[in-house]
Amino acid sequence: MANQWLRLWHDMPNDPKWRTIARRSGEPVSLVLAVYLHLLVDASQNVTRGHVDVTAEDLASALDADESQIEAVLDAMDGRVVESGKLTGWDKRQVKREDSGSPEGGAMSAAERKRAQRERERIAKLEQESQQRHAESRKVTTDKEEDKDKDKRNKKPKSGSGEPNAPKAKKYSDWDFETAEYFYQTILTVQPDLKKPNLESWADSVRLMRERDNRSPDDIRAVWSFARADSFWQQNILSAGKLREKYDQLKAKMRAPNHAAHKQPNQPGLDPNDTSWINELYENGTFGSGVDGPSSEPCDQPIEGDFSRLDSSPQNTGAGG
């Protein structure tokens, strides 16, 4: 069965040889092209594809021309586009079967064209996915930067005043600060060269013992006095923070039956319940009425073991100042 198609090449209508054939035959270029198209169709339908069997008479009838005109064109074509009854370049431009392809002419089969199409689609899909990932990555980066800027704009000062460098409001009470100062003064009686600590930090530790650890003021002072009377703990409890850290351990030792404090050599034993020593601190002006400095008048009344002066502060004096 003859194929139902043939191929034309792009520069075929403007090929210079048609003018040459027209000049040699004395016929117009339009007739030359018409004859050649009929030859192509005949060669495609021939059993031996590429060979032409059509006669000058048939061509004259098909093109409504004189037979002499057709013969003149065919004679001019001989040796140029027709050789030995076969169109030149047929095998190069006209493949035997489309699906088989043509390695010589570069034509691809249907299967080859389909594979090439799928490969193009696969590459295009990969490029699209890559662009989407890149766009998403840029969006995530932009979102993070926007979140950081938003956090910076919405960041509030740590202090309650709303000012960036506002002083931090103190939470401890006057009693807490006086107790911290009292701790420091009692240490100086044994270690006079001790560097003065941050008493505000000590006062906050005293506050935490009261508020967070639920230690009573009497109990705090009793445990501190026990630590100062013990030769071992006296060297290890040197701050309010350390007292809070070792509080339970010190309390357990105080409650231990028949527990005797480690006395210092050549020193009388210290009674944790003996508070007479605080009178001397007040008489010397060491303790004042608050955190602003020593009192202008010395205390002339002995202070009993209930520490009434210090006891009143946690209940009657609030934090702040």
Q: What is the pLDDT of residues 159-204, one digit of tens each?
A: 544 445 555 667 888 888 989 888 888 888 888 888 888 889 988 9
Closest CA to 180 of 255, 247, 241: 241
For residue 314, pLDDT over 70 is answered with no
DSSP character for 98?
Answer: G
* Range with lowest mean pLDDT among 99-103, 195-199, 223-227, 244-248: 99-103
Cross-strand pairs, 51: 86
How confident is the model at residue 319, as a pLDDT?
43
Q: Which residue has the higher pLDDT, 1 or 260?
A: 260
Distance CA 270, CA 268 (A): 6
Burial 9-23 (b: 16+ CB within 10 A, else e): eeeeeeeeebeebbe
How much is the average pLDDT of 240-254? Answer: 88
Q: What is the pLDDT of residues 11-41, one digit of tens each?
A: 888 889 899 999 999 999 999 999 999 998 9
Helix (H, G, I), strand (E, B) or coil at 251: helix
Residue 7: CB atoms within 10 Å? 14
Q: Which residue has the higher pLDDT, 137 or 285?
A: 137
Domain chopping of the chain, boundaries: 17-96, 120-155, 174-316
Distance CA 214, CA 180 (A): 17
The whole model's pTM is what? Answer: 0.33
Binned at pLDDT 50, 70 and 90, residue 292 comes out as: very low
Residue 225: CB atoms within 10 Å? 19
DSSP character for 172?
Answer: S
Counting residues of the chain whose pLDDT is more than 70, the rounded percentage is 66
Cross-strand pairs, 82: 78, 87
Distance CA 136, CA 278 (A): 73
Full 3-state SS string of 290-311: ECCECCCCCCCCCCCCCCHHHH
Closest CA to 178 of 100, 281, 84: 281
Q: What is the pLDDT of residues 53-72, one digit of tens each?
A: 899 899 989 999 999 999 99
